Chains A and B, each alone.
Chain A
Amino acid sequence: MAERRFDDSCAELSVRERARLASLIATDDRKKNNTFGLHCVFSLPRKKTYETLTTQIAAEQPRYPSLTPRLPSAHAFEREIFEFFGIEPVGHPDLRGLLLHEDWPRGVHPLRKDFSQGTKPERTQGEIFRFQKVEGEGVFEIPVGPVHAGIIEPGHFRFSVAGEPIINLEIRLGYVHKGIEKLAEGRDPLQAVDLAERISGDAAFAHSLAFSQAVEQVALVPPPPRAQSLRVIFAELERLYNHLGDIAGIATDVGFSFGAAQMLLLRERVLQSNQRLVGHRLLRGVNIPGGIRREPQGGALQGLNDFLSWLELEYVCVERLYRDTDSLMDRVEGAGILARQVAEDLGGVGPSVRASGVDEDLRRDHPYGLYNELKFAVPVLDEGDVAARMLVKMAEFKQSLALIRQVLATLPDGPCSIPVKIIPGSGMGWAESSRGEILHWLRIDSDGRIERLKVKSPSFSNWPLLPWAVKDNIVPDFPLINKSFNLSYSGNDR
């Protein structure tokens, strides 16, 4: 009997366990056994585990039946693998370039092992990228970006509109692709945390946490208890400042400047508190495989307790201001509704989909570090509009405050880190960042160097949701809806 097809097994697992495709990882194993490896990571929230299905693809004819027709969430992953490894998913509906643009020569696959780091291929005049075309009377296109009027990251948005209502939106990213996965190859895992911190600036801690946990899993070294506690504190501090910024952004985009200024003020205070704690506003240079590199000095942690009390008092007032401002709530309610079905089918993660009724949070469903021992609620709403996304973040803000307090109350003494001895193998680390699931899949070779690092950022999972959320809304509401997701371009492009 023939072996079961890979796409069948994947589809079957996803149906049986209601599993979510978390990441799809390709590896170049041609040196070892003349194949490419394909690893499909599923999240099984019911069993509180991740499950990985693996297949091997012959190097002479690198193709396999595409997963996308039955698992729509594999769409972007397969496009990326086609581009970076040259492995063709047969039956994939759309294999246009994802991150590499027209000027990148076709047929050059940068994540293959025979493409050495630092290679600079000649710029080419490739085929022009064809956007989806909507035809009909009165339908016209609005191209926006990649350079925008505000100080934000680059991305191209192509709207097809009939008057003001949006019929279709296509998003083209990749402008800030930095080749981080390639850069990591050959590095000492202990020295690669800085790369992880640069995947997305405002998720520096969450990315370094996921990466460190991946290394610790390979090396079988659990970090000491004090480091575990401090990691929760920093991870939640990062969530605090990001949620404050996200909520302020919503107010800014509807022109409610007073509310925005108040929220941004609080965000700035959290950043200043971070600076006092560890000497970096965005918590860079804190994590290291094996624990915490920079321990808060002397009274800083005591000061943190007082600061959190102050922050909560102030925050409650500002939140009430938001809820009581009818002109603001009128704008956010009913705008940009993301249906639960779409969120689930496309594999969305984080607060953006928790506002659409998808009840999943890695801290509870795939507990890592200390989270198993902590008490917290996972706020979920069903409306799926901008208001729901804002309210979920507001509720999470309070949960994060409570989490930090719990940890501070029982902070153990002892060392902050232990030395990690690197051994070959592969492992996976994850963290729930303020945007959702971060997944770092790591393989270390026999020299103790990184052979492959695959980074799945929450933005990579959530960008495909945005076109569905803006459909049938009007053009001037797009910035608001976009802001309510607040996705990272850099995190998506890596």
Chain B
Amino acid sequence: MKGAILWAQPLLLILAAPLITGCVKKLKAVLQNRQGAGVFQPYRDLLKNLQKEEVVSETASWIFRLIPYVAFSATAAACCLIPVVLAGSALDFAGDLIALVYLLALPRFFMALGGLDAGSAFGGMGSSREMMIASTAEPAFLMVLFTAAVQTGTTRAGPIAAVLAQSGWGAFGPGAALAFAALFLVALAECGRLPVDNPATHLELTMVHEAMILEHSGRSLALLEWASQIKLALFLTLLADLFVPWGMAMSADLASLGLGLLVLALKLLVLILALALVETSTAKLRLFRVPDFLGAAFVLALLGLLSQGVLKLGL
């Protein structure tokens, strides 16, 4: 039973990811006094793109065709490393949070290659910008994960969530609060959201993530978009897992699973609202200010780590 639930968790995340993106879009529309498309629109878009014919640039190599599959499967595999409803993950034995960071870096590497491979000017610009952002986002991301690891004594996501959930509200100390803020900033950068990247823009010259996937179409595009939706869902879940895991199911019985699901939905909703508010009320940063932004995330995470260390060691 527990094993089945553990494997069902990533599946839930993958299938619900478009809904989460749909909710963000809907909320943003409402906040702008617009009606907006329904929350299930991303599913329709995915279905549409899956059925469409694919056009591939003549200059593209086999790598270009491979990218959507790499991106989708690596992101899906990353979902198996974190707890969702139940405190535990399917691949807890195989990889920890460090592996998660690299599973997320893999698609980025390939997408950056793809941006160059297709031979359009925009792709190359997207790739170079994505790499600049990634190189500053990753250290901050790792720092955040270490904060949680220092607190609980493990780098595996399942046990971290379990330990925190059982240790009561006191676990959300100043260190955790700082790391939470840092991870939120990192999530904005990693998922290509405002103020780092504008997922809704039509301006090729300002794009980052969208520029890299500009040459993909049809099924490839569907997989890439789905992968980025999963990534957003994954980051929001990770924010809930590592810092506010209370309410998560500890055993695989129906009652606690139901409660866990409900609590997760609520937490995600709050995070989605926060995301929509940030995206509606701020303008995009000037590109060269992005490292400052992520530098701030890094410093927050570092402070979190230090204060966590001080508490832990009782200095």
Which residues of A are at the interface with B, using a C-beta cutoff of 8 A? 141-144, 148-150, 163-164, 251, 253-258, 260-262, 265, 325, 327-328, 330-331, 335, 474-479
A-B contact list, 6 entries, CB within 8 Å? A144-B205, A149-B203, A251-B283, A327-B283, A330-B286, A476-B287
Known: A143-B121, A149-B204, A476-B205. A258 touches B280 (CB 8 A): yes
Closest 7 pairs (CB-CB, A-B):
A261-B32, A150-B202, A255-B284, A256-B283, A254-B283, A255-B198, A327-B283
Instruction: State whether A150 touches B203 (Cβ < 8 A).
Output: yes
- Does B62 lie at the interface of the complex (its beta carbon under 8 Å from any beta carbon of A)? no
What is the distance, in angstroms, from B123's C-beta to the closest C-beta of chain A?
11
Instruction: State whether B205 touches A255 (Cβ < 8 A).
Output: no
> Which residue from chain A places its CB closest to the CB of B206 in the assembled complex?
A476
What is the distance, in angstroms, from B1's C-beta to the closest C-beta of chain A?
46
Instruction: State whether B121 touches A327 (Cβ < 8 A).
Output: no
Which of A150, A253, A255, A331 counts the most B-chain CB atoms under 10 A from its CB?
A255
Out of A143, A255, A474, name the residue touching B195 (CB < 8 Å). A255
Instruction: State whether A261 touches B33 (Cβ < 8 A).
Output: yes
- The total number of A-B Cβ pairs within 8 Å is 85
Residues from chain A with a CB closer than 8 A to the CB of B206 are 253, 476, 479
Interface string of B201-224 (1 = CB under 8 A from A): 111111000000000000000000
Residues from chain B with a CB closer than 8 A to the CB of A479 are 203, 205-206
Out of A149, A261, A328, A474, name the residue touching B202 (CB < 8 Å). A149
- Bound state CA distance, A350 and B284, in angstroms? 28
Out of A149, A255, A476, A478, name the residue touching B283 (CB < 8 Å). A255
Since A253-B206, A474-B287 are in contact, a sample of 5 more A-B pairs with Cβ atoms closer than 8 Å, ordered by chain A residue number, is A255-B279, A257-B280, A327-B282, A327-B285, A330-B289
Instruction: State whether B284 touches A254 (Cβ < 8 A).
Output: yes
> Which residue from chain A places its CB closest to the CB of B281 in the assembled complex?
A258
Instruction: State whether A144 touches B194 (Cβ < 8 A).
Output: no
Out of A255, A265, A328, name the residue touching B201 (CB < 8 Å). A255
Interface string of B1-41 (1 = CB under 8 A from A): 00000000000000000000000000010011110000000
Residues from chain A with a CB closer than 8 A to the CB of B289 are 330
- Does B288 lie at the interface of the complex (its beta carbon under 8 Å from any beta carbon of A)? yes
> Which residue from chain A places its CB closest to the CB of B194 in the assembled complex?
A255
Instruction: State whether A142 touches B121 (Cβ < 8 A).
Output: yes
> Which residue from chain B places its CB closest to the CB of A479 in the assembled complex?
B203
What is the distance, in angstroms, from B28's C-beta to the closest C-beta of chain A?
7
- Bound state CA distance, A253 and B33, in angstroms? 19
Q: Which range contains the number of B residues in contact with the other chain?
A: 20 to 34
> Which residue from chain A places its CB closest to the CB of B207 in the assembled complex?
A476
- Bound state CA distance, A251 and B287, in angstroms? 16
Residues from chain B with a CB closer than 8 A to the CB of A148 are 202, 204
- Bound state CA distance, A251 and B122, in angstroms? 23
- Bound state CA distance, A251 and B121, in angstroms? 26
- Bound state CA distance, A445 and B202, in angstroms? 48
- Bound state CA distance, A331 and B198, in angstroms? 14
Instruction: State whether B287 touches A257 (Cβ < 8 A).
Output: no
Residues from chain A with a CB closer than 8 A to the CB of B203 are 149-150, 253, 479
Instruction: State whether A258 touches B285 (Cβ < 8 A).
Output: no
Residues from chain B with a CB closer than 8 A to the CB of A262 are 33
- Bound state CA distance, A346 and B88, in angstroms? 68
Residues from chain B with a CB closer than 8 A to the CB of A260 are 32
Instruction: State whether B283 touches A325 (Cβ < 8 A).
Output: yes
Instruction: Tell me which residues from 21 to 65 in chain B have a Cβ below 8 Å from any Cβ of chain A.
Output: 28, 31-34
Instruction: Tell me which residues from 251 to 269 in chain B have a Cβ below 8 Å from any Cβ of chain A.
Output: none
> Which residue from chain B places its CB closest to the CB of A477 in the assembled complex?
B286
What is the distance, in angstroms, from B270's C-beta to the closest C-beta of chain A?
20
Residues from chain A with a CB closer than 8 A to the CB of B33 are 261-262, 265
Residues from chain B with a CB closer than 8 A to the CB of A254 are 283-284
- Bound state CA distance, A253 and B201, in angstroms? 8
> Which residue from chain B places its CB closest to the CB of A256 in the assembled complex?
B283
> Which residue from chain A places its CB closest to the CB of B197 in the assembled complex?
A255
Residues from chain B with a CB closer than 8 A to the CB of A144 are 121, 204-205
Which of A164, A256, A477 counts the most B-chain CB atoms under 10 A from its CB?
A256
Residues from chain B with a CB closer than 8 A to the CB of A478 are 205
Instruction: Tell me which residues from 169 to 221 in chain B have a Cβ below 8 Å from any Cβ of chain A.
Output: 194-195, 198, 200-206
- Does B84 lie at the interface of the complex (its beta carbon under 8 Å from any beta carbon of A)? no
- Does B125 lie at the interface of the complex (its beta carbon under 8 Å from any beta carbon of A)? yes
- Bound state CA distance, A475 and B281, in angstroms? 24
Residues from chain B with a CB closer than 8 A to the CB of A258 are 31-32, 280-281
What is the distance, in angstroms, from B301's C-beta to the closest C-beta of chain A?
22
What is the distance, in angstroms, from B279's C-beta to the closest C-beta of chain A?
7
Residues from chain B with a CB closer than 8 A to the CB of A331 are 283-286
Out of A164, A257, A475, name the residue touching B32 (CB < 8 Å). A257
Residues from chain A with a CB closer than 8 A to the CB of B284 are 254-256, 327, 331
Out of A164, A257, A325, name the residue touching B279 (CB < 8 Å). A257
- Bound state CA distance, A330 and B284, in angstroms? 10
> Which residue from chain A places its CB closest to the CB of B284 in the assembled complex?
A255
> Which residue from chain B places its CB closest to the CB of A478 in the assembled complex?
B205
Out of B28, B125, B129, B195, name the residue touching A327 (CB < 8 Å). B195
What is the distance, in angstroms, from A249's C-beta to the closest C-beta of chain B?
11
What is the distance, in angstroms, from A207's C-beta to the closest C-beta of chain B?
28
Known: A148-B204, A164-B287, A331-B284. A261 touches B34 (CB 8 A): yes
Residues from chain A with a CB closer than 8 A to the CB of B129 are 476
> Which residue from chain A places its CB closest to the CB of B208 in the assembled complex?
A476
Instruction: State whether B288 touches A328 (Cβ < 8 A).
Output: no
What is the distance, in angstroms, from A483's C-beta to the closest C-beta of chain B?
9
Instruction: State whether A256 touches B125 (Cβ < 8 A).
Output: no
What is the distance, in angstroms, from A150's C-beta to the closest C-beta of chain B?
4
Interface string of B228-269 (1 = CB under 8 A from A): 000000000000000000000000000000000000000000
Instruction: State whether A257 touches B121 (Cβ < 8 A).
Output: no
- Bound state CA distance, A476 and B202, in angstroms? 12
Residues from chain A with a CB closer than 8 A to the CB of B125 are 142, 475
Residues from chain A with a CB closer than 8 A to the CB of B31 are 258
Instruction: State whether B204 touches A257 (Cβ < 8 A).
Output: no
> Which residue from chain B places its CB closest to the CB of A328 in the assembled complex?
B283
> Which residue from chain A places its CB closest to the CB of B277 in the assembled complex?
A258
Interface string of B284-298 (1 = CB under 8 A from A): 111111000000000
Residues from chain A with a CB closer than 8 A to the CB of B194 are 255
Out of B28, B285, B286, B288, name the residue touching A257 (CB < 8 Å). B28
- Bound state CA distance, A335 and B285, in angstroms? 13
What is the distance, in angstroms, from B209's C-beta to the closest C-beta of chain A?
13
- Bound state CA distance, A335 and B289, in angstroms? 14
Residues from chain B with a CB closer than 8 A to the CB of A475 are 125, 205
Residues from chain B with a CB closer than 8 A to the CB of A265 are 33
What is the distance, in angstroms, from A443's C-beta to the closest C-beta of chain B?
43
> Which residue from chain A places its CB closest to the CB of B34 in the assembled complex?
A261
What is the distance, in angstroms, from B197's C-beta to the closest C-beta of chain A?
9
Residues from chain A with a CB closer than 8 A to the CB of B205 are 142, 144, 475-476, 478-479
What is the distance, in angstroms, from B57's C-beta to the closest C-beta of chain A?
15
- Bound state CA distance, A262 and B31, in angstroms? 11
Residues from chain A with a CB closer than 8 A to the CB of B28 are 257
Residues from chain A with a CB closer than 8 A to the CB of B202 are 148-150
What is the distance, in angstroms, from A43's C-beta to the closest C-beta of chain B?
35
